[in-house]
Structure 1
Amino acid sequence: MIQAPRRSAGQEYEVPQPLARLMAALEDFDVYLHQITQQWPKAERHGLSARCREQMTEIHRLVAVAWKRKSRAGALFDLDVELHVLKSLVRKAWRLQYINDHRLEVCARHLAEIGRMVGAWIKHESAKAKGGVL
């Protein structure tokens, strides 16, 4: 299990299991995305390829922000938006023929899984805000 930095001397706390699964899914997709962007045309290394990798870094940051905040709704909304932007960047790479149909399918599968996890987190937080816990 992934462990967060210590809160105070001698006290550690663990990342909740759903968050650990989300972080693992993000890391898996990040590695895959990095591998395929390395094969894009050299002219795109500082363009679309870099933008996709920056988008993944932003998504990782927003997961951390959402986990650390007491009021998570804003960060989760931003996270959902950034996932949507990453999906559009991947589709653009496919339209420009930097990735083939199979790689698009693998990316879509990864992003759909991540999207479901984020959606479940949003649903859980909204139910918690309304007073009921799922």
Structure 2
Amino acid sequence: MNRLVYENPHPLALQTKFEEIMQYSHMALKQFPKNERFQLCADIKQAVDTAMHLIIRMQKRYAKKTTLQDIDVEIEYLRVLVRSANAYGYINTHKLQVWMKHVDEAGRICGGLIKFYNEKARTTS
């Protein structure tokens, strides 16, 4: 299935992956200490929500490249936040690996979409 996503990328694959990330993040953030729920948890939730908002915006736009770049930035910011949660000891190494696997897959899908739309722009010009 992953091979099909890269050969013929579709924005819906990115949205589906981020829905999985939202579900996993919700479960993982429940186990954070109470004092961090209003700081690091809020930042992680905000990054995931912003990325989902941008994904929906990208699907509705004709010119998708700039929005995809914004999504890519949010994915990288989410990676930083998840790594800091591990560094602070709020999540264990296994949870970090699972979470990063989801985020990395979303990053690969986003990168494939960026590459696809860049090629599409070059061929139509």
Q: Settle same-fold status: TM greater than 0.5.
A: yes
| Residues in 1 aligned to 2:21 and 2:66: alpha-carbon distance in whole angstroms | 24
TM-score normalized with structure 1 length: 0.83
Q: What is the Cα-based RMSD across aligned positions, in Å?
A: 1.5
Alignment partners' CA distance in 1, 2:112 and 2:41: 29
Give the match's secondary structure for 1:67: helix
TM-score relative to the length of structure 2: 0.89
The CA deviation string for residues 85-127 of structure 1, in whole angstroms up to 9 with x for no partner, is 0000000000000000000000111011101100010001000
CA distance in 1, matches of 2:12, 2:73: 21
Q: Residue 125 of structure 1 corresponds to which residue in structure 2?
A: 117
Partners of 1:21 and 1:131 in 2: how far apart? 24
Report the residue type matching 1:67 in the other structure.
Answer: Q
Partner of 1:30: 22
Equivalent-residue separation in structure 1 for 2:62 and 2:123 (angstroms): 15
Tell me what 2:106 maps to: 114
Paired positions, count: 117
Percent of pairs with identical residues: 34
- Secondary structure in structure 2 of the residue aligned to 1:46: coil
Note the C-alpha offset of 1:63.
Answer: 0.6
Q: How far off its partner does 1:77 sit?
A: 0.6
Match in the other structure for 2:82: 90
* Residue type of the alignment partner of 1:35: M
**AA aligned opposite 2:33:** P
- Runs of 4+ displaced beyond 4 Å: none
Match of 1:65 among 57, 63, 70: 57
Which structure is higher in helix share? 2
Structure 1 alignment gaps of length 5 or more? 1-16
Larger Cα-atom Rg: 1
Q: Which structure exhibits the higher relative contact order, with contacts defined as CA atoms closer than 8 Å and separated by 6 or more residues?
A: 2
Deviation at 1:19, TM superposition (A): 2.4
Alpha-carbon distance in structure 2 between the residues aligned to 1:30 and 1:65: 17
What secondary structure sits across from 1:58 in the alignment?
Answer: helix
